[in-house]
Chains A and B, each alone.
Chain A
Amino acid sequence: MTDTPTETPEAQAPPGRPPVVTPVRVLAGLCLVAPFVATLWVSSYADTSPDLGGVPFFYWYQLLWVPLSALLTVSAYLLVRREERQRRVRGGGDAR
């Protein structure tokens, strides 16, 4: 798939390679970083209270982060995929 700049107006718009850092990618990055902050900052959750149905906070908080991190990874995936599709439409094969 070679880039023929005269073919469509869209192909003409971005001169050269699209930027590596884009708002969408920053947002996806934040989604991926959040679980690190939440789980590696141990002193923020090293407590027994409040408990949930008898389970100390320390345990249910970390268990809660399993689905949360999964949701965040899904969000990052959807964001990145959407952007890749846009780039492919705009810039051809190697623009990802």
Chain B
Amino acid sequence: MKDGVNTVALTVFVLFFAAVTVMGFLAARWRRADNALHLDEWGLGGRSFGTWVTWFLLGGDLYTAYTFVAVPAVIYGAGAAGFFAVPYTIIAYPLVFLFLPRLWSVSHRHGYVTPADFVRGRYGSRGLSLAVALTGILATMPYIALQLVGIQAVLDVLGVGGGASANWFVKDLPLFVAFAVLAAYTYSSGLRAPALIAFVKDTLVYLVIIVAVVYIPMRLGGYGQIFDAAAHKFSAVNPATGKPVGSLVSGPQAQWGYATLALGSAMALFMYPHSVTGVLASRSRDTVRRNTAIMPAYSLMLGFLALLGFMAIKAGVGSGVKGYNAQLAVPQLFEDMFPSWFAGVAFAAIGIGALVPAAIMSIAAANLFTRNVYKEFLKPDATPAQETQVSKAVSLLVKVGALAFVLGMDKQFAINLQLLGGIWILQTFVSIVAGLFTRWFHRWALLAGWAAGMAYGTWKAYGVASPTTKHFGGSSTAIPVIGEIGYIGLTAFVLNLAVAFVLTLVLRAAKAPEGVDETASGDYTAEAGDPGVVEEKTLVAPAG
């Protein structure tokens, strides 16, 4: 990878990048509405996206460049453990089928822009809403930073990452340019920019993956040979631990971890603010439900992508290099296997794959700040136009912060925080999902449960050591009582639920004030165009 710049691949990469930049700015004109100053326009694309636009948008949003790089990297390094991403994305959709339509309906009725808006309206609790909002922002920030890691991997393999000898400015210049461009069109076009660019991104990704899973095995002698090579690699014993470095099939010791990680991640997926933004931008309740049925196409793509990790082993990527960065395995595989021009297409897929989620995440974090901190605590009489202004500015700030994060701090720190972010965001599940079905839980009990889950999850994750780091070395540890190794986030969630349950009983017995619920049961099943929804105040007036 340090053998100079791959000119052809770089040219193709830059061309695609330039094309999506133009699209990003033109997106402002796409489906432009009359009331461009309303936050619904900039932050939710006018709540107008149909089934297919939503499918591309959500796919571009959830399957990020970091996913493309990190999932095969784990497969490359440890085998079966990395494949949990497949059951995770399989069960995520039947799960959200149950509650996302309700979230869409109630948000549509009341003009909610963020999940914290819903919590505010449902429980009449500013504290709980703030907790949900801050958790969302905290979990999203490192996620944005990690998108840069995805771009960096590609730039490194392309030969423009600069290597160790270049000074930091030259080394990071391409990254600066990419992010400045991203920030500019997100600022001007809002959610419409990533929605439009997602078409390019997803098309490229599908194209590259389909070609890769057919063409690369042909060159490597078939899948049988690929898995034989992997089995051989994983059977080697790690001198540090005395155990095999990986396994081809999840062993009895690892199965609890595999299943709990899949379940916990599936539950967390649509708690992330950027996922909710994608869902609320859709036109109707039925759009949301249809998407839960067609989103698995992306899961299949992710599964095939994961297999590329095995192909990298067979292709000899990084073999014999001590401390090889597994995250470069798949980009390197593309460069070794594909003709230069197609390697360029593949790199463009990953690069653009970073831009779409980074844009949506920054918009989602900005909306959370604007709606649930700025309007709630700083300026309650803010007009929709002011909200939009603040959101735009914060989206810039968030991206600058993410950039500073990656450049100024250890990359490992961003990875640790992203891992923690998954555990944290799962702690908002009780407030949001239980709230969509019942008002039984007491708002203070939910807040206490959230705090317990956050504290427990952070403490446990801090105590996990790995060969490379002393703390935050992984997301799994022994589950109390059961004794098996399991996902910390899910254990923390169970604790969270138990605390919320017990305290609700106590608080109800003590007749603690419940707070005002501004929603009605019919709101949760409302469809666009239903009587009372069309002339809803929320579509024009300041919402909330």
Contacts and interface: CB of A to CB of B under 8 A. Distances in A.
Contacts of A48: 248-249
A36 B97 contact: no
B138 interface: no
B252 A62 contact: no
Interface in A21-36: 31-33, 35-36
Contacts of A82: none
Given A36-B94, A76-B97, A46 B226 contact: no
B531 interface: yes
B94 A66 contact: no
Contact of A94 (B258, B286, B303, B522): B522
Contact of A73 (B97, B226, B255): B97
B283 interface: no
A13 interface: no
A81 B294 CA distance: 16
A70 interface: yes
Interface stretch (B79-87, B316-324, B400-408): B79-87
Given A58-B249, A62-B83, A66-B303, A39 B292 contact: no
Interface string B223-245: 11111000000000000000000
Contacts of B227: 51, 54-56
B486 to A, nearest CB: 12
B300 A63 contact: yes
A39 B90 contact: yes
Interface in B510-538: 521-522, 525, 530-531
B283 to A, nearest CB: 16
B434 interface: no
A66 B90 contact: yes
Contacts of B80: 58
A46 B248 contact: no
B250 interface: yes
B233 to A, nearest CB: 14
Nearest to B290: A77
Nearest to A58: B249
B255 A66 contact: no
Contact of B259 (A40, A51, A55, A56): A40
A66 B293 contact: no
Contacts of A43: 252, 255
What are the 5 A-B residue pairs with the smallest beta carbon separation, nearest first? A54-B224, A54-B223, A39-B87, A70-B296, A42-B255
Given A32-B94, A65-B87, A66-B300, 18 more contacts: A35-B94, A40-B263, A46-B249, A46-B250, A46-B255, A53-B223, A54-B225, A58-B83, A59-B303, A66-B86, A66-B90, A66-B299, A66-B303, A67-B296, A69-B91, A73-B93, A80-B289, A81-B289
B222 interface: yes
B339 interface: no
B184 interface: no
A55 B80 CA distance: 13
B329 interface: no
Say which size band chain B's interface belongs to.
Answer: 35 or more
B109 to A, nearest CB: 13
B399 to A, nearest CB: 33
Given A58-B250, A69-B90, A42 B223 contact: no
Contacts of A42: 250, 255, 258-259
Contacts of B294: 70
Contacts of B286: 81
Contacts of A53: 222-224
A83 B94 CA distance: 18
A73 B94 contact: yes
B287 to A, nearest CB: 12
Nearest to B298: A66
Given A39-B87, A58-B80, A69 B93 contact: yes
Nearest to A72: B94
A66 B298 CA distance: 9
Nearest to A31: B94
B223 A73 contact: no
B300 A67 contact: yes
A74 interface: yes
29 contacts: A1-B531, A35-B91, A39-B86, A39-B90, A40-B262, A41-B259, A42-B258, A43-B255, A48-B248, A48-B249, A53-B222, A53-B223, A54-B223, A55-B307, A56-B227, A58-B80, A62-B303, A63-B86, A63-B303, A63-B304, A66-B90, A66-B300, A70-B293, A70-B294, A73-B97, A77-B292, A80-B289, A93-B522, A94-B521
Contacts of A94: 521-522, 525
A21 B531 CA distance: 26
A56 B263 contact: no
B94 A59 contact: no
Nearest to A28: B97
A69 B300 CA distance: 11
Contacts of A40: 87, 91, 259, 262-263
B303 A93 contact: no
B251 interface: yes
Nearest to A52: B223
Interface in B83-103: 83, 86-87, 89-91, 93-95, 97-98
Given A35-B91, A62-B83, A54 B249 contact: no
A43 B300 CA distance: 22
A46 B307 CA distance: 17
Contact of B97 (A32, A59, A67, A96): A32
Interface in A2-50: 31-33, 35-36, 39-43, 46-48
